[in-house]
Structure formats: structure tokens, C-alpha cells
Chains A and B, each alone.
Chain A
Amino acid sequence: MSLSISLTVNGAVRDVTLNDARVTLLDLLRERLALPGTKKGCDRGQCGACTVLIDGRRINACLTLAATLDGAEVTTIEGLACGDMLHPVQAAFIDHDGFQCGYCTPGQIMSAVGLIAEGRAGTDPERIREGMSGNLCRCSAYHGITEAVLDATTRIAAEKARKSA
């Protein structure tokens, strides 16, 4: 079989011919589109390492079949910064040491971006912890992750306020 889809990845339109219906978004990104920043930790939706945004919503790329994504807009860790300008969540992760080995980090950051956009956690650390609990970190950088998400939430809110003022 062969199936052609067209999707937007980090702002660029990618026309993909799939010769295999089993390809997940995660393997599509990593093995076929040369975007290995998104990580595989379990391949079955249990760890969050593969978190990306589809149409602004966070999802597990390992549980999403590429063939279902015709017309979708995908954002991965590679598409977050503007050139040398880090996204506020990325900068906050560095400032608060929200990672150690860095393997879960792309997923944590994409999850945090999604969480902040969802607007349900605000600056309540308890809700941030809950909202980030789909992303495992074996290095256990959770302390820094929570601090980073709190800080980034504030930075993003301030930026929004500045823009709308």
C-alpha cells in the first residue's frame, strides 16, 4: 500500500508518502523526517517522552498513526525556539535545572507548553504537578520541572499582558 499525506511540521509543509500503514507519528518524525528531537521512552503511551503538539494539543506521538494526520499541524521540540531565541519554557528549564540527562526533556517541554496553553493549572504548583504527571522523568528532575513550569507560566502571562497593553 502507499498513502500520501500532507502535514505541517514546525511550520513547514511536508508531503509524505507512506508505504506502510503502521508508521507512528513518532517513528515518522524520528526515522523518516530527520527530526529525532522527539524521544521514544516506551512506545506505548506510558511515559510522555514523545509528547508533541498537534493543532496545539499535546499528544503522545507513539500512539498516533501517521496515516491519520493528513492536514494536521505538528509542533515538535525542534520547532519551539525562534532561531536563537528560546521559547520561555525552554529558557525556564535551563534556569531551574528542570532536567538531568535530558532524555525526557523534549516531551516535558512540549507538555509544559501544552499545559500552559490549556490554562488550567495557572500558577498552582499542585495542579502543575498533576498536569505534568503524564511525563515520567527517571532522573527525577521533578523539583526543577515544577519550578520551571511555574516560572514560564508567569513569563508567558507577563509577555501576553505586555503585548495586549
Chain B
Amino acid sequence: MSDTLPYATRFGSNSGQSTSRRDGVAKVTGAATFAADNHPQGLLYAVYVPATIARGRVTHLDVAAAKAHPGVVEVMTPQNRPALAGDPDSKPFMFAFRFEALQDDTVRYANQPIALVLGETIEAATEGARLLNPQYQVMPPRVGLDAEAPYKVVVGNFGRPGETVHGDVAAGHAAAVQSVDVTYETPAQYHNAMETHAVVASWDGDQLTLDMPHQAIVMSRGVFGYYFGIPAENVLLRSPYLGGGFGSKSIANGPQVLAILAARMTGRPVKLMLRRDQMFGPVGHRGATRQRLRIGIDEAGHMTVLEHEALAATSTFDDFVENAANASQGLYAAGALRSAHEGVRIDIGTPGPMRAPGEASGSAALECAMDEMAERAGLDPLEFRLRNYAETEPGTGKPYSSKALRACYAQGAERFGWAGRPLKPRQMRDEQGMLVGWGMGTALFPAPMFAAQARATLRPDGSGLVETAAADMGQGAWTALAQIAADGLGLPLDKVEFRSGSSDLPDGGIAGGSGHTATAGTALHAAGVDAVRQLTAMAVSDPASPLFGAGNASIVARDGRLFVAEDASRSDSYADILARAGGQALVGTGSGGRAPEAAGRHAMYSHGAVFAEVKVDPDLFQIRVTRLVGAFAAGRIINPKLANSQLYGGMIWGISFALHEEARFDPRTGRIMNADFAGYHIPVNADVKGLEVITVHEDDPFVNALGIKGVGEIGITGTVGAIGNAIWHATGTRIRRFPIRIEDLLAHA
């Protein structure tokens, strides 16, 4: 950990530049190799057979029919499935979930794998899978949040407590002169990265090579090593590009494990690519929630209490209860705060982390409830939030490491033109007679760090090689991390080769929690600084160097040269220094992570404010988001162009949450009725216009040495509520269920 670096960190030449993606040419020419693009010799294709019931047993599979089909090579069922060394029903790691890998004939949710068919061609394997024609013993499925009695969550996701209380909640309610008590619902949502989960697995003895998109490249070596009974070092996982991850590609799942097993069983490489409908089940999702919010305020509009309870669905066999209520911790200065979670076990695949897990659903409900409270108090929603602005973290009293939220409110409101917004709903129309509404929401996301390692090599020619197994799932790691690394090495970006995305490199940590750039970036920068420090020691002790005798501390690195800070005429190039020292490359190492003391001293979050305009047809109630302005403060922005893309993307996920996506379960069968892109709606290009992002400057000396927070997830938070609130402002109707649909508004017309 390098909380304080030995040199004043120098930024500006590479970091902070809107460099275009370094993998851009590969991606626009089709040369970028995604997992399923690999085609090793002797390849077999795997197709998994999904359960078409949600609960029960498989009683028959027509294996003979499938095997008789030309080109079908093997059919794997619970009868002949080779043993796994690690039990898929165990949870040996923090990021391990229980999963179905044909351990028996039970069906725990629709779409779980019940067989795997291997064929010489995709066509043969697909047809073989169809011919299995499963027969079932069906049990009535448990569907929806009311199917079973809820249970109290004691330890929540990622080890957070199920319930958090600060202050005297009862006294907070008693002190309130006005209050709201509202319940919001959010649906099951599925990640649906455009690249479905895929793997190409090849065995060579007990060496396993996996081409597989993965958000935790080095960590997963140990995971797959565990299930297959081989040392972690025997697993080579290559994931240069992920076609989107959003949290779903960080966890081992049944279909991929079965494909790897099939490769060992047949002695041939196996390719499996999930079908789109198979993305709805075995690879996680955002669980449905029902959230109750109770807010009380005093005469002055200050919150006396904020109580947030969330009930969320999880599977019958594992725990991942959307920790939505935690979104109310850390944001508003309520006199008393309580967040509590309950789970309900139903016949679904286990939920998992999906872009802004907890925060997205929680923020949606919280920001709408805040709007309802402001409405009741007769206050402008922004004014209400400013009255409850937290100067220190509510409950804990910890200072924020940085918090430019006031500037976000001000700049966002200014750009949007918030001033003069009528308090009452249904006051605005456009030229076409559409109802116009404006709403806002606060965005909040924690700024965590994980752990990462990196290596930086100065080559004899003075160029640099930096290495860490980072994952680029679209956020721009190939570019932003290289920029940071180049700054660490004091080299221009084009003199730095960046190797990443493969498990034989130093552990780049997890691409998740919006902490990847901060974590891997810190490691890379520290590695570069370490290399430069060694180089400096060589130069100042070399009588042939113009730097001879200068103090280490007075040397700065820039553009491949070392300079005496006070006397730029004294300088020496990296190549010359290394040449005189014998022409050997020089290797620096570094790590990234947060010291526990630093985490204990400060509350660390990215902040933002989102303002939305919607237009609603007064007769048809069609809803359009016509403008969306988000102002975000997220520490140091390494690459504004790529950071903006992340924020745009997050805000569009907010549009999606507010208006589009929802998995709908058939209550009779427990199956998802819209498990494809025709029925599971996400925004298309025509749904998106009038988007603006502002990044508010923020220096954060505490989050990490580089001052980086993160931008990957915060864009969703705030946005959903802003849109919901704008719809109320346009129509006068509060819809307390997402996504908000035409028929919801029609029902109130």
C-alpha cells in the first residue's frame, strides 16, 4: 500500500487527458478477441439444456434420441457427470455462490442447467439439446415477494450488517411535525451484458486454459482450481476484453463449470456460449425489492428520522438479499437513521451484484420518498435536500474524505435551469401540449478499494512495460490504467506498453465496486514510482551522470528523463542511465489497496446530483425522458472522455430502471415470460437524448494517493428517482413501482 508516495505525484501529462481508447482500433475493426471468438483445434460445442420448470425434479431425458443425432458427441446429465473436486453447494470463498452443476435431478429455478450436450457443430449440439425433451415432476413454484414468510437478514451482502441504527429512531418519529410513510417496489432485473457468458476451455494434463470474460481474473484461478482440484497456478485465464460485465462476470456459475468439466471429460477443447434466454437464471440478477421509507421532519424542514426497510427476494439455496436500505446511510443528515433488511426465499436463481447493487434500488426509493417529503412540506426538492445536507457522515460523524455535492447541486441546477420550477405538479406544457415535469435526485456511491499488484519495467531503450491483470469490461482500463502507469514511470503514453487481462500477470484485483481504476491504478503508479526510484539511485551515484551527487529527493521524472528539480539543465535520459549501468532492464513493483486506518478515519463516497425532464402525453401517457443533466464529483478524473461515457451509461441504466426493464414471472410456472430482448426492454438509441454530464472538480487527499474515487456505478443512483419525480411533477401521479409504465399512469387518469 502506498498511502503516501515518496515523490510528489505528478499528474497532467497523461492523466487528465481525454485520450481515445487504446483498444479502439481493435474494437472498431473486429480484431478485438472476445472469449467466444477463440477457435482452438478440435473444438467441441456445448449447449446447456435449461429447466423449463421452476421447481421439482427431472424424471426423464431422452439421451438416446440426442445421442442418435448426427454430430452429437456426448450428453452430460447427473447420471454420468464426472465428479468435481469442489462441491458446488459449498461456499469456499467470499465471492463464491452455490450453483447447479448437475449434482442431482432437482430443479431449483427455471433455466438452471439440467444437461449439457456436446456436438461437433453448434447446430448439432443445439438440436441434441432440443431432443432431450425433459420430463418433470413439477412442484408449485413460489413466485413473488409474498410467496413465503420473510426472514431477517443478520449479515448482509459483502459482510455488511443486515440492520444499522444510528440515534434514537422512536424519538425521531416523535419529534416529527410532518412525515411520510411510503412503500416502493423494484422488479427483478437481469444484467444482460451484450456478450453472453462464454467460455472456451482447454485441458492439457492438469493444466487448464480458459478464455472467459471475467471481472476478477487472478482471483478466479483459485476458484476454478478449487472446483477442479488443481493448484491455482495451473489455471490460465485470459480475458483481454469483456463484452460487458456489470457484476455478473465476477462469480463462477454452473454452465461455465460444466463446460470446463466437459472439456476434461472429452479430452477436447469446449466452447460454451449462453443463449440470451439462458442469461435469465444461472448468472445472477438484481433481486426484486419492496422498500418502506418513513421520513419525519421538524418545523424547519430538518429530518428528524429516516427509516428505510427493504424486503428482497433471494433463492431457496443461497443468500443475496439486495441491500437496498443501506442507500439511506451516508447521505442525509437525519437525527436518527435506521436501515434494515429482510429476505424471502423463492424459486429463482440466486441474485448477485448488478451495477450499483443495493444503491440503485435503494436510491430509487429514497429519492422518490425525499421528493414526497418535500412536497408535503411545501419545499422545493433541491432546497429540502440542502436543508438536510450532511457535513459529516450521518450516524458515524466521520468527516468525508471529500464531498463536492453542494457544487454538484449548484452546477447541475444551473445547467438544467431548475430555478423557477413550479412547486405543484401539472403546471408545465410544451408547444405540443405534452405534460412537462422536472425532478431531481441525489447520487451517492461508496468509493472502495480492493487489493492489486503491478509490475513496471524500464527497458534498456528507455521505454516502459507495465503489467497487471486488470479487466476492461468497457470502462476503459486499457486506456486509463495505462495513463496512470505512464505517469508513474514519467513516460509519455506512447512509450508505455501495457499488458493486462491475463491471469499470468500480477493480480489486478476485481473490476467491481467502482474501485478498479483506484485500486489497480494505485498499484501501477506505485510500481512506476518504484522503478524510477531505483533508476534515480543509479543516476545520482554514477559519476558519469549529469545528476551525479544530486539528492534523491530533488530529482523529478518527465518524458523519459530525470531532471534536477531546481536546475532543469541537469538531466539524464532513462536509456543512457540504464546503458551505463550495463543495459539491464529495471523492474519496479507496487501494490494498491486501502490502509484500514485511512478507511476508519474518513467516510468515502462519490456524489452527484441528477436533474430530469420528462414529457408525458396527456391522453396516451407515453413517457419520454427529454433531458437529463448529471453533475458528479468523483475525485480525480483520469480520462474525462471515458469517465463521461461511464456516467452517460450509468444514467441510461437509470432511464432503463425507471421506465424499461423488468423480468416478469409467470405465477403459474415460475418461468420468466420475457427472457429475451424482445420482451425484456432496455433503452434503444431513440430512447436517449438530451443527456449532459458535468464532472465537478474534486481533490481528495485521503481516498488514495492518486485521489481517484470511481464513476462506474454512481450514474444510476439519483437518476431513477429524478425520473420518477419528474413523472409526478408532470402528471401529479405518484407511481411507487418501477418501471413506471403507461398503464400505471392510465390507471390514475
Residue B497 at the chain A interface, CB threshold 8 Å: no
Q: How far is the CA of A47 from the CA of B686 in the complex (A)?
A: 14
Residue B109 at the chain A interface, CB threshold 8 Å: no
Q: Provided the pairs A101-B194, A103-B194, A129-B686 are in contact, do residues A136 and B642 lie with their beta carbons within 8 angstroms?
A: no
Judging by beta carbons under 8 Å apart, are B684 and A139 in contact? no
Residue B25 at the chain A interface, CB threshold 8 Å: yes
Judging by beta carbons under 8 Å apart, are A104 and B194 in contact? yes
Point out the residues of chain A lying under 8 angstroms from B245, CB to CB: 101
Judging by beta carbons under 8 Å apart, are B37 and A142 in contact? no
Point out the residues of chain A lying under 8 angstroms from B127, CB to CB: 22
Most A CB contacts (10 A, CB to CB) among B30, B71, B193, B245 go to: B30
Q: Provided the pairs A47-B194, A77-B29, A101-B195 are in contact, do residues A39 and B34 lie with their beta carbons within 8 angstroms?
A: yes
- Which B residues from 645 to 677 make CB contacts under 8 A with A? 645-646, 648-649, 652-653, 656, 676-677
Judging by beta carbons under 8 Å apart, are A103 and B122 in contact? no
Point out the residues of chain A lying under 8 angstroms from B376, CB to CB: none
Nearest B residue (CB) for A46: B677
Judging by beta carbons under 8 Å apart, are B645 and A102 in contact? no
Select one of B20, B25, B124, B193 contacting A97, CB under 8 A.
Answer: B20
Q: Provided the pairs A103-B243, A138-B194 are in contact, do residues A94 and B28 lie with their beta carbons within 8 angstroms?
A: yes
Judging by beta carbons under 8 Å apart, are A140 and B28 in contact? no
- How many Å from the CB of A105 to the closest CB on chain B? 5
Point out the residues of chain B lying under 8 angstroms from A130, CB to CB: 685-686
Judging by beta carbons under 8 Å apart, are A20 and B123 in contact? yes
Q: Majority SS of interface residues in chain A?
A: loop
Residue B242 at the chain A interface, CB threshold 8 Å: yes
Most B CB contacts (10 A, CB to CB) among A76, A137, A140 go to: A140
Point out the residues of chain B lying under 8 angstroms from A77, CB to CB: 28-30
Residue B601 at the chain A interface, CB threshold 8 Å: no
Judging by beta carbons under 8 Å apart, are B677 and A142 in contact? no
Judging by beta carbons under 8 Å apart, are A142 and B34 in contact? no
- Which A residues from 13 to 45 make CB contacts under 8 A with B? 20, 22-23, 27, 30-31, 34-44
Q: Provided the pairs A90-B29, A129-B688 are in contact, do residues A97 and B645 lie with their beta carbons within 8 angstroms?
A: yes
Count residues of B near A (Cβ-Cβ below 8 Å).
63
Q: How far is the CA of A12 from the CA of B242 in the complex (A)?
A: 30
Select one of A43, A44, A97, A101 contacting B243, CB under 8 A.
Answer: A101
Q: How far is the CA of A76 from the CA of B645 in the complex (A)?
A: 26
Point out the residues of chain B lying under 8 angstroms from A30, CB to CB: 36-37
Most B CB contacts (10 A, CB to CB) among A43, A130, A144 go to: A43
Point out the residues of chain A lying under 8 angstroms from B475, CB to CB: 100
Residue B27 at the chain A interface, CB threshold 8 Å: yes
Residue B17 at the chain A interface, CB threshold 8 Å: no
Residue A143 at the chain B interface, CB threshold 8 Å: yes
Point out the residues of chain B lying under 8 angstroms from A106, CB to CB: 30
Judging by beta carbons under 8 Å apart, are B30 and A76 in contact? yes
Q: How far is the CA of A47 from the CA of B653 in the complex (A)?
A: 17
Point out the residues of chain B lying under 8 angstroms from A142, CB to CB: 648, 652, 683-685, 688
Judging by beta carbons under 8 Å apart, are A101 and B474 in contact? yes
- How many Å from the CB of A80 to the closest CB on chain B? 7
- How many Å from the CB of A30 to the closest CB on chain B? 7
Q: Which B residues lie at the A interface, using CB under 8 A?
A: 20-21, 23-34, 36-37, 39, 71, 121-124, 127, 192-196, 241-246, 273, 275-276, 472-476, 641-642, 644-646, 648-649, 652-653, 656, 676-678, 682-686, 688-689, 691
> Sorted from nearest, which 7 A-B pairs have the closest CB atoms?
A37-B30, A103-B243, A100-B474, A101-B474, A102-B27, A140-B652, A36-B37
